[in-house]
Structure 1
Amino acid sequence: MDTNQQIKLLENRLIEAMKASDVATLDALISDELIFTGHYGALFSKEADIDAHREGNITIYDIVVSEQQIKAYDDVVIVSVKKEISGSFFGDTEVGLYRFTRVWKQLGGEWKIIAAHSTQIVR
């Protein structure tokens, strides 16, 4: 299986983990050194991201992917994906269209997300 296929499978696994608030899988896929910039510009660590799922502050109802680009560069892969997401986020129910950019890096033989950025697409 080539790198792009591996990352596509990991991206699908990530979506399912987000929808289920599966913190064990999220922990396995996200680097301890994660830098995540949310769509309002706030920075989040791995711990903050996973804690939001663990504590029930994030509940994802559905994620529909409409576009995905994967670019591999040796041990780093950049993913750009467009998603419609519905869920409850810190008490507010939202449905929106977002573009995510994620950077995956091979660490110790496993692919981990080291950076991510989210932007809300205004229709």
Structure 2
Amino acid sequence: MDNKLTESSILEQENKLYRAIKDGNITLLDELLHDDLLFILPSGETITKEMDMDTYRGGALKVDELLSEIENLNIIDDLAVITLTMKLKGKFNEGPFEANFRYIRFWKKFGDGIKVVGGSGRAI
């Protein structure tokens, strides 16, 4: 069995992540995000996996529309770096929002699967 990351395996994980975000699926998010995740929000704040999960657990973020477009995908051994743009529409703390973002995400292969270990997003 080939133990290398592939473009299709990363795109599959990205699609799972989109579904988890849109559905607010805590179980799937927990599976896809590494316990030591660090992510920089558009505000510049650095958050951890637990902080991100709390956003969904508490119902603060509800995504109604999520449209992504992959820009780049580089695979480096057991790490993948992906850049993409995403249109998001939904509610944050009950206030409606609609915005376009650019993200970079780092996926790493572990014994129990491929997980997000880091990333950043900014409004564009």
Letter in 2 for 1:71: N
Map Cα deviations across residues 56-92 of structure 1 (whole Å, 9 max, x no partner).
0010011011333211001000010101001111232
Separation of aligned partners in 1, 2:69 and 2:15:
13
In structure 2, the residue matched to 1:110 is 113
Separation of aligned partners in 2, 1:107 and 1:67:
23
> Which structure 2 residues correspond to residues 45-84 of structure 1 after superposition, within 5 A?
45-84=48-87
Consecutive unaligned residues of structure 1, counting only runs of 5 or more, are none
Dislocated runs of 4+, deviation >3 Å: none
Map Cα deviations across residues 37-69 of structure 1 (whole Å, 9 max, x no partner).
000101111011111111100100110113332
Cα RMSD after superposing both structures: 1.4
> Which structure 2 residues correspond to residues 88-99 of structure 1 after superposition, within 5 A?
88-99=91-102
SS of the equivalent of 2:83 reads strand
CA contact (8 A) 2:86 2:101 kept: yes
The 10-residue stretch of structure 1 (46-55 or 63-72) with the greater mean CA deviation from structure 2: 63-72
Consecutive unaligned residues of structure 2, counting only runs of 5 or more, are none
In structure 2, the residue matched to 1:8 is 11
Letter in 2 for 1:61: D
Separation of aligned partners in 2, 1:42 and 1:91:
21
Number of positions where the alignment pairs a residue of Structure 1 with one of Structure 2: 121
Separation of aligned partners in 2, 1:68 and 1:54:
30
TM-score scaled to structure 2, two decimals? 0.92
CA contact (8 A) 2:24 2:62 kept: yes
The structure 1 residue matched to 2:33, chosen from 30, 40, 53, is 30
CA contact (8 A) 2:70 2:82 kept: no
